[in-house]
Chains A and B, each alone.
Chain A
């Protein structure tokens, strides 16, 4: 596709349930990032995948959060036992090569997660 695609666009879940958020990056982009955007808190880095390297998981807020990237393309962010504080917009971005920050990230439109 022409851009980064995220699904679902909106997700309402009950506290304690698990959720999976999907990201389809731009074809050929080797770097993929997940960020979380909460009201008034800017964009909080969660995890970074670059090619076949081990992911940088340093931003994951707890062990309830995990992510994988299959075949160097699609990524899934999983949140287990969701809590109300997990409510936020989850943004995925991709960029074309290792020196990726110089070329800028292309963000998807995000998944708005609401935990009730």
Chain B
């Protein structure tokens, strides 16, 4: 049973474009939704996170949109750059009580 479903598997955008990565979850007890960024040969690093009491959170060029009724959340990268090329993982947990459950990842390529 896959608790967090992530799409697309891969994404190619032009520099300056706005890639969007989507995740859907099943467990309504989840109340913490982070995104992680992973470069080749490195471990994932926390990028941005949201709690369900807000519908949107921005940090720099990264924005999370959250739709509690649809049990979906997404990552938008504004003005994408080649340096944003990485694998992105969404995740979810019951904050403080359970380990993070990760999606399968999206490989993003930003081409100049």
Residues of A within 8 A of B (CB): 4, 33, 35, 40-45, 48, 56, 59, 91, 93, 98-102, 104-110
Contacts and interface: CB of A to CB of B under 8 A. Distances in A.
16 contacts: A33-B99, A42-B89, A42-B104, A43-B44, A44-B102, A45-B99, A91-B44, A93-B43, A99-B95, A101-B32, A101-B93, A101-B96, A101-B98, A104-B49, A105-B44, A107-B43
Nearest to B105: A42
B95 A102 contact: yes
A23 to B, nearest CB: 11
Interface string B27-40: 00000101000000
Secondary structure at the B interface, as helix, strand, loop or mixed, is: loop
A99 B102 contact: no
Contacts of A107: 43-45
Contacts, number: 62
Contact of B96 (A35, A41, A99, A105): A99
B101 interface: yes
Chain B: interface size category = 20 to 34
Interface in B40-57: 41-46, 49
A56 B93 CA distance: 15
Contacts of A101: 32, 34, 93, 95-96, 98-100
A45 B102 CA distance: 8
Nearest to B93: A101
Interface in B1-42: 6, 9, 32, 34, 41-42
Contacts of A40: 9, 104-105
A93 B34 CA distance: 15
Contact of B99 (A42, A56, A106, A109): A56
A113 B5 CA distance: 26
A99 B44 CA distance: 20
Nearest to B51: A102
Nearest first, the 10 closest Cβ-Cβ pairs linking A and B are A107-B43, A104-B46, A42-B104, A99-B96, A43-B102, A42-B102, A101-B95, A48-B99, A101-B93, A45-B99
